[in-house]
Structure 1
């Protein structure tokens, strides 16, 4: 047999599939002799209709996934599959035990983004259950309808195009036979089973296929950002599910203490977004069996003072990673990112750390993601909600405006983020006069949140910019976010500058660019500068600085204008070039 050969060395597909068959016969409990005998006895029908592979797939979800769904899960030269990890094997094992074993009928996984929970959980489980008719009616519930529809599309394409399934099961899905439903949200199989995908806002109750209620309900990313934004929204989401699911499930059939037919299996897969969000509440239910996984396998610790410390924060801010961070955030060096990566590669062995999916994930990529936004990283990758909703900035350096103005400024610009809607979150137009001084610090010399709605008070908005340019004659550049007016305000400002008897001689450059980067990602880049006091504000601009100090991320902040425009200032002032004026000497003074 092929037990000593690595999969990478097997070229012939049939040989590869036979190796898989042999490997998983051992996995399910057959010894080597029994596995050899089974393969020999079934040599004429290893992979054909109801052959040995078909029989083994019914016993093992992992084998079913690795063989019948091998184009998704088995690494080959012609696909993009990644090597599976222990976390994926554990998911498959728990789903298998829940559906055909003695496992809990309500199981959940909180997994980091990028773990493949939808593929390994939702997709694999649905295909397995309906290929073998282990479940009659599956309901896949997602936060929005388009996500739910993607699940249906992937499952549909698999059953229509997968040669391994068709060879062993026959035709299970026929999109040309009008007797069966086959559309963007519903699939009816020839074995009289049914899959339906719905958004989380659609009710579960009352749904039936024939006489069957849903006997497999999968909650895959069941909540949206809107569902966790406020306490009212979180409460509403939980109440709706609690009231809904009790009327949607199929009860188990039990006679004389023996289970004749298992009831509905509920599978919840998601990422934590808040301490009181839907999944956080579901975890606390005694009838659910949950596992919470971290992407970076570094534990918190208690120091000698008895204080609990976040292990991830400590790890990425000490030792070689601290040196890496210092190189990465040295914006005076134009090659700071490349130099930081080079430092990592020079010390890769010492800087590697354990990952949940080390077969696929990269330590350098994950470290860079952490430094971009530690709070978001801890939520998305570490399933850590303790820091969600906390304020991002610990301090803001402020001095009297008169004191700030004593410094020698080498670059100055005006930055504008216009408000253009009438809702409560977008009623400020942010104006910031920012300079870089010869002491390498940056000064927000004037930072205003003006109650000017640029769409309804356009002239007032332009006039305020003109006023600030006149008050700060050393301003050489203006940055205006382009998203709101698509350049119309920049054009109008330029016209007014050219008509002004003073401003038209200053050669002011207007930068008008669209906001493309995620705001949270952009704002997170200034956290180290703010907390170190390297961006200095005027004490008089307390409304502006208070908004910065209150920022908790876009989801949990009423306003983001001040930190957003501050991030633009920090990132752009480095790159503007100021043309120095040259005074022509009077030759006559030298007698020439």
Structure 2
């Protein structure tokens, strides 16, 4: 009965919305059709078949109902208006042929791979709207997952009842990256590292170049490391992927075969990256949705209760600030909730993500990289040395960002940066000393490190990046330590590694911790120049000196990796009896 009602409702929408019939006439038409096709509403060449060809929405809600319709035996969420908007866009593109290229920029977690990749591929190949579809993913694992999900969807009983047994591995090519169907169409998935140049599909009806190309999260972090890598990715798309398609065939003004359709899906990772460039390309229509449709920065900044939530979340004097913040939210839920794009997104979880990792939130959930060139750090917390030293420290380490000595241009040359930091038993991190230095002699640098080791007697680990001196400085420091018995006894551990990780990516991990006071700076011993340089950081591309930010990020990330060896204390034998 539910399927009949769904069929009836979407037949009515077809007549009223697409054909413009008055409501009464539309109802009468639906009634006539339902009676006429009563014996074949959902089978081969049925009324449902005919309607699904004209409505991707109906196709998804009926033929793929186990993926999109909540039932007692599944855990499917109720669809949001945005999902219907996406399907409406696909109908314009593939049914009404209004355009050939579209980019969907959407927030993480919206279900884009299922709602577009899988659903669209099933519709295209059930109705022979695409003979050869290729799907491009970043990783091969993603490509394999897509093929597997699509194969399972095409094997569901609703599709099989109407379209027959399309997946037949014994007769057709079916493997982890290829899905050839029994109606002489094919779906093939590629990772971003695999070339699609010259790809085609041979059928009894001829040789076909890709008739639809879907790129889903096609880029990775390695594609945004430099301007050159961004340019390379975009040019590869233009010269290799777009050229793999075919142009439209038009005779005497009549469209015989549409041009290859291109669908790009993703979230921008950096300004001028592949997604950002496609957005600016006039050939592409753009569908852009964020997790909320308002200025999230202004909202949180001006909302008194969310600011109270933030203060609780980053209160280092609380035993469990996360739980306290959560309880505060639920006590004030009615006045703190805000409208999101889908019920899947929980307001308190979104707020926690925003306050903890704002840059990642803006990129992944607001799909915005427009303010990446702005200063990354909005605020910082400083406390007197006496108050900081009252904490019970569990780990203490020194991180050093090295630079050259005897540089001719002292103004533009990099600084040596030094951070002495400790992690407390409350989970907060305290920067007990932060310095920037320029040395004229290598020995001055070595002596400075020895002085810091003497000053902080609880310091157990030292990290020094290897890129500048290739381990020579560590060797010299260890030799100097050998001259001081008090330092030798401490058994200080040195970590000396080459730094190849993208700095922006690394520094982005500490932005929210600095802004919200989970990393706290000593008022007296963190030098003003160090803190000023940190607060001026606007991304590697827009910042002259990133030494303070880079060194601080190394400490904040590496101190978590230190394993604390607790001292085992002996007890009197008499206690055992």
TM-score (norm 1): 0.73
Which residue number in structure 1 is paired with residue 214 of structure 2? Answer: 218
Of 185, 188, 195, 2:180 maps to 188
Of 31, 35, 51, 1:40 maps to 35
Which residue number in structure 2 is paired with residue 490 of structure 1? Answer: none
* Whole-Å separation in 2 of the counterparts to 1:398 and 1:52: 70
Q: Does 1:207 align with 2:189?
A: no
SS in 2 for 1:222: coil
**Displacement after TM superposition at 1:268 (Å):** 1.2
SS in 2 for 1:107: strand
**Displacement after TM superposition at 1:43 (Å):** 2.6
**Displacement after TM superposition at 1:239 (Å):** 1.4
Of 266, 278, 295, 1:270 maps to 266
Gaps spanning 5+ residues in structure 2: where?
17-25, 402-415, 440-446, 467-480, 496-504, 568-577
Of 329, 332, 341, 1:356 maps to 341
Of 318, 328, 331, 1:343 maps to 328
* Whole-Å separation in 2 of the counterparts to 1:28 and 1:349: 39
**Displacement after TM superposition at 1:77 (Å):** 2.6
Q: Does 1:329 align with 2:314?
A: yes
Q: 1:395 to 1:336 in 2, by over 3 A?
A: closer
Which residue number in structure 2 is paired with residue 306 of structure 1? Answer: none
* Whole-Å separation in 2 of the counterparts to 1:107 and 1:292: 11
Alignment of 1:99-498 (within 5 A): 99-159=94-154, 161-177=155-171, 180-210=172-202, 211-298=207-294, 311-318=295-302, 319-357=304-342, 359-393=343-377, 409-411=389-391, 414-416=396-398, 432-434=420-422, 442-445=430-433, 468=452, 470-473=454-457, 475=458, 478=460
Q: 1:406 to 1:68 in 2, by over 3 A?
A: closer
Per-residue CA deviations over 1:192-225 (Å, capped at 9, x if unaligned) read 0011111233333311112111010111112211
* Whole-Å separation in 2 of the counterparts to 1:191 and 1:435: 63
Which residue number in structure 2 is paired with residue 493 of structure 1? Answer: none
* Whole-Å separation in 2 of the counterparts to 1:201 and 1:470: 51
CA contact (8 A) 2:316 2:518 kept: no
Say what the alpha-carbon RMSD is for the aligned residues: 4.4
Tell me whether 264-273 or 142-151 shows the greater mean CA deviation. 142-151
Per-residue CA deviations over 1:92-142 (Å, capped at 9, x if unaligned) read 111122112132111121111111111111111001001111110101112
Which residue number in structure 1 is paired with residue 67 of structure 2? Answer: 72
* Whole-Å separation in 2 of the counterparts to 1:396 and 1:408: 15
SS in 2 for 1:410: coil
Per-residue CA deviations over 1:557-579 (Å, capped at 9, x if unaligned) read 98765222553699999x9999x
Per-residue CA deviations over 1:145-184 (Å, capped at 9, x if unaligned) read 222221111112222x41111111111111122xx11111
Q: 1:233 to 1:441 in 2, by over 3 A?
A: closer
Tell me whether 142-151 or 253-262 shows the greater mean CA deviation. 142-151
Which residue number in structure 1 is paired with residue 551 of structure 2? Answer: 562
Q: Does 1:21 align with 2:7?
A: yes
Alignment of 1:517-536 (within 5 A): 522-528=509-515, 534-536=521-523
SS in 2 for 1:28: helix
**Displacement after TM superposition at 1:367 (Å):** 1.2
* Whole-Å separation in 2 of the counterparts to 1:264 and 1:408: 64
* Whole-Å separation in 1 of the counterparts to 2:325 and 2:561: 21
* Whole-Å separation in 2 of the counterparts to 1:32 and 1:186: 44
Which residue number in structure 1 is paired with residue 22 of structure 2? Answer: none
**Displacement after TM superposition at 1:393 (Å):** 2.7
Q: 1:146 to 1:217 in 2, by over 3 A?
A: same
* Whole-Å separation in 2 of the counterparts to 1:435 and 1:447: 19
SS in 2 for 1:226: helix
CA contact (8 A) 1:449 1:562 kept: no
Aligned length: 505
Q: 1:129 to 1:528 in 2, by over 3 A?
A: same
* Whole-Å separation in 2 of the counterparts to 1:204 and 1:192: 20
TM-score (norm 2): 0.75
Tell me whether 54-63 or 121-130 shows the greater mean CA deviation. 54-63
Q: Does 1:89 align with 2:84?
A: yes
